[in-house]
Structure 1
Amino acid sequence: RVVAGVGVPQLSAIYDVARALEGTGVPLIADGGLRYSGDVVKALAAGGNCVMIGSLVAGCEESPGETIIFNGRKFKTYRGMGSLEAMENGSKDRYFQSGVESVKKLVPEGIAGRVPFKGGVQEVIYQLVGGLRSGMGYCGAPSIEALHNAKFTRITNAGVQESHPHDITITSEAPNYSRSE
C-alpha cells in the first residue's frame, strides 16, 4: 500500500470480500497481516475460510531461505514476493512488470530481509493452533463457520498497547510471542 497508494488494512479487506462472496460458495483465503495467533482468529472471524501463514513460518527450519548468524543470534533470510529479489527470479509478472528487462526499472512492492529463527515448523503450528483454539473458545465458536458470527470491538492504539505485556521486562520468552516481530 505504501508504494502503490492502493489498498485497505487486511482485516477490513477480509470483511469486505467476505460480504461480497456471501452465497457464492467461493472460499476466502486471508493472506497477509498476520503476526500472532490472535490475528489468525480475527482473520477467520472477519469471514476468512482459511489463512496463508507464510510469514509466520518464515523463520522455521523447513522454510526456504538461508540460516544465518547475526550479532550472535540465528535468523533465516526471507523475501516477500514483491521484493526486488523475488521479481528478479520470476514474480515480476504478478506485479504487471513482466516486460521489464532491467533490474533498475523494476518497482518493487515488497522487501527481503531476515526473521528470527524459530526452530521446527511443528512447534510453530502447534502454538498457532493453540491460540486459534483459545480464541474460538472465548468466542463460543465450535467451528470456523460459527466464528464468522463473532462480534468485533474497535480499540484505540492505546488499547493495542495495553493488549501486550507492559510495565515488565520479559525474562523468559514464550514460544508464541515476541514484541520485536
Structure 2
Amino acid sequence: VTLPEGIDPREAFDRLKAARRTLAPVVGADGGLVGLLTRSGAVRSTIYRPAVDASGHLRVGAAIGMNGDPARRAAELVTAGVDVIVVDTAHGHQDRMVEVVRAVRAALPDGFPIVAGNVVTAAGVRDLVDAGASIVKVGVGPGAMCTTRMQTGVGRPQFSAVLECSREAARLGAHVWADGGVRHPRDVALALAAGASNVMIGSWFAGTHESPGDLQYDADGRAYKESFGMASARAVADRTEGEDAFDRARKGLFEEGISAGRMYLDPERPGVEDLIDSIVAGVRSSFTYAGAASIPEFRERAIVGIQSASGYREGAPVPVSW
C-alpha cells in the first residue's frame, strides 16, 4: 500500500483504514519515496501545521551563553541556517547579558529574531528589548529540574511573571516566551492567557522517544529517560571536564538543580507528536470556553481568578470505582 504525494488527508486516512494499515509510504510522481504517513498524521494535518521555513524545513533555534565570543558564534549559527538565536542564562537581568545582546544584535542581519532571558520583571524586559532583543524569555525557578527557589529564595510565580513581562513587552513592540512550569495543557493555556506568545516545554518532552538520551528501563520494565538541570552538579561536571580536579570539585559545590530525574514514557503518548495532540486539544478547548478564535482574542477574553490549593485539588481527576 502506497499513497501519492499531495493526497487529501481524509482520503489518505480512508485508504489506510480500508487496507487495515496504520501507515504507508508516500511516493512522488517519479516513484521516489517522499516519506511516511500514518492515520494519526493524516488527522493531525487537518488540525495544526508544523513550524516550517520557506523551504519546508522545521524551524531551528540555537542557544548560546554569555562566555567567550557570543557574537561570533551567533553569526556562524545564522550562516549555518538557524531561524532564531537565544542568548540564554539563568539570570538575564544583568549588565553582562545586556552587553552580549547588544553585540549579538550588531552582528546579525536587521530584523533577525533574538531571544534573551531569563527575567521575571518589567524592568528586565525593558532593558533587554532596549539592548536589541525582540523576544524575552520569562521564568526563574518554575522548571521541574530547578531548585533555585528552594536554595536561594530567588524567583517568582510563573503566571505573575508572564503577566507583568508580557504587558511591558507589548508596550515596546516585543514578545515573551513562557519558560518553565508547564506540566499540563492547562499551563499552556494559562501562559497564553497571561500574554505569552510561545511556551517552552522541557521535562514534559524529556519523557519521549525523540528526546536526547538513552532509553532505559526500571525494575518493572517501564521505559524512561534521564533528565537533569543545567545548573546541577552533573551538568557542571560535564561543562568543566577539561579543568583540573580541584576546580571541578569546587564548582561542583555550587549547584542549583536536580542531577538525575527519571522521565517515564507514557505508553499512551510516547512521542512528542502525541503530547502535542494532547496540548492542542486542551488549548483549543480553553479557547472554546472563552469564546476566542485566536491567541490575541483569548488573551483579551480570558478571565483569571485566584483559587486555593483545595480548589485546585477539586478540579483534578480522581479515579472512581463503582
**Match of residue 291, structure 2, among 136, 140, 143:** 140
Alignment of 1:49-60 (within 5 A): 49-60=197-208
Q: Deviations over 1:22-64 (max 9, x none)?
A: 3212110000111100100001101100000122211000001
Name structure 1 gaps, 5 residues minimum.
92-99, 170-181
Partner-residue secondary structure (3-state), 2:224: strand
Q: Deviations over 1:108-127 (max 9, x none)?
A: 21113111113121111111
More helix by share: 2
Change (3 A) 1:9 1:89: same
Partner of 2:180: 32
**1:16 equivalent in alignment to 2:174:** no
Partner of 1:129: 280
Q: Deviations over 1:48-103 (max 9, x none)?
A: 00000122211000001221111311111111222222223339xxxxxxxx9323
Partner of 2:256: 109
Name structure 2 gaps, 5 residues minimum.
1-148, 241-245
Contact 2:226 2:263 in 1 (8 A): yes
Identify which range, 42-51 or 74-83, moves more after superposition. Answer: 74-83
TM-score (normalised: structure 1): 0.82
Amino acid at match of 2:283: L
How many residues in Structure 1 have an aligned counterpart in Structure 2?
Answer: 161
Partner of 1:75: 224
Q: Deviations over 1:132-167 (max 9, x none)?
A: 111111111211111212110111100000011236
Partner of 1:45: 193
Instruction: Report the CA distance between 1:129 and its aligned residue.
Output: 1.0
Distance 2:249 2:193 in 1: 41
Which protein is bigger by CA-based radius of gyration?
A: 2
Change (3 A) 1:60 1:167: closer
Instruction: Report the CA distance between 1:19 and its aligned residue.
Output: 2.0
Distance 2:180 2:236 in 1: 19
**Match of residue 63, structure 1, among 204, 211, 227:** 211
Partner-residue secondary structure (3-state), 1:65: coil
More contact order relative to length (CA 8 Å, sep ≥ 6): 1
TM-score (normalised: structure 2): 0.47
Amino acid at match of 1:87: V
Aligned-residue CA RMSD (Å): 1.9
State the percentage of identical aligned residues: 39
Partner of 2:37: none
